[in-house]
Amino acid sequence: MAGETFKARLEPGGREFILHPGESVLNCALRQRILLQYGCRNGRCSSCKYLLIDGEVDLGNISSYSLTESEREEGWALLCQARALSDLVIREQPVADRDDAPVITPDDRRAEVVAARPLSESLWGLQLMLESRLSFYPGQFIEVEIPGRPGSWRCYSIASSPATPDRIELIVKRIAGGEFSGRDEHFTAGFKLAIRGPYGMSYLRKSDRPVLLVATGSGLGPMLSIIRSAAERQDPRSYWLYYGARTESDLILRDELRLLEQRMAHFSFRSALSAPAAGDGWRGAVGRVTQVLQREIADASPYDAYICGQPEMCEAVATLLLAKGISEDRIFRDDFFAASD
């Protein structure tokens, strides 16, 4: 029946939440401060794959790569896409450090572009003034609705620290033809946007372990939020940032990173260029970020690792760190999956 609400129960444990019609199971859970495992929110990464013990869902528009035919038959669903057609019983899965940080209820709000500046040929810094304060953990992201396309959203990681909750910064890769990133008017002061959030599970965990941050391209955004807030809190942990780019002109915000290195006793950053231009005079590390990690990290077991950027890079770095001894539940990653493919 249209408009009917249902109930979800997580087993074991018995936690319950209400399922609203037309809203994904994941969104319903997060709005009721129930943390489930998830990543891209676009049906791409399969992080939100859960087994339905009982009940029926509309699986949504997902590929057979994200959820295979046999998984569908066995009762698995991607909860970021699935919408309830009945009450549900869902097999609960462990979430690393679930009690570390309570879920911040995601909310919708308006935002206005107050500044937009190119940081490199393709990466832009976008500052948004929010109509109301946004609480978030360093490492989380927001969604921006594509103007003129109601219900079509893009994820962008927050690069600023939570200390400025009404003014946030994003680092956006401008893609020619991209529905959000390709339009000049979206990068013009005064432009109004609808946003919602915060989302994401790759937020900085409380722990005593050294922190390894690995990013390429616009994946630097959430790492900046983590480092900026660590500097503000004078976090005693060690932070290591590995930042990969193609050429020297793609290495953004190096002056700020150097300043942070001077201000923070335990922060070091390493940049690696995969294709330094002949005239660059580059004396730093050369190669993909995985090659540099391969050379420089002998034992990854002591670290908490945060990885952000292109999915292929995230996968390669995670595989390498696992081979070097890190435990799977100490890897936190945001693969920047494209929503539209």
Ligand X SMILES: Cc1cc2nc3c(=O)[nH]c(=O)nc-3n(C[C@H](O)[C@H](O)[C@H](O)COP(=O)(O)OP(=O)(O)OC[C@H]3O[C@@H](n4cnc5c(N)ncnc54)[C@H](O)[C@@H]3O)c2cc1C
Q: Which residues bind ligand X (CB under 6 A)?
A: 40, 42, 141, 154-157, 170-173, 175, 177-182, 218, 221, 334, 336-341
For 35, 76, 210, the CA distances from 6, given in Å and listed in that order, are: 18, 19, 43
Nearest approach in angstroms of CB 109 to ligand FES is: 22
**Contact predicate 125/170, CB 8 Å:** yes
**Residue 221's binding partner out of ligand FES, ligand X, none, with CB under 5 to 8 Å set by partner kind:** ligand X
Instruction: State which residue, 47 or 202, has the beta carbon closest to ligand FES.
Output: 47
Instruction: Extract the tokens encoding 224.
Output: 């900046």
Instruction: State which residue, 62 or 273, has the beta carbon closest to ligand FES.
Output: 62
| CA triple 243-246-252, angle to 5 deg | 50
DSSP 209-225: S-EEEEEEGGGHHHHHH
Instruction: State which residue, 27 or 271, has the beta carbon closest to ligand FES.
Output: 27
b/e string for 63-77 if b means 16 or more Cβ within 10 A?
Answer: eeebbeeebeeeebb
Nearest approach in angstroms of CB 247 to ligand X is: 16
Residues 6+ apart with CB under 8 A from 62: 43, 78, 81
**Residue 229's binding partner out of ligand X, ligand FES, none, with CB under 5 to 8 Å set by partner kind:** none
Nearest approach in angstroms of CB 254 to ligand FES is: 32
Instruction: State which residue, 172 or 285, has the beta carbon closest to ligand X.
Output: 172
Site of interaction with ligand FES (CB under 6 A): 38-41, 43-48, 66, 78, 80
Instruction: State which residue, 37 or 291, has the beta carbon closest to ligand FES.
Output: 37
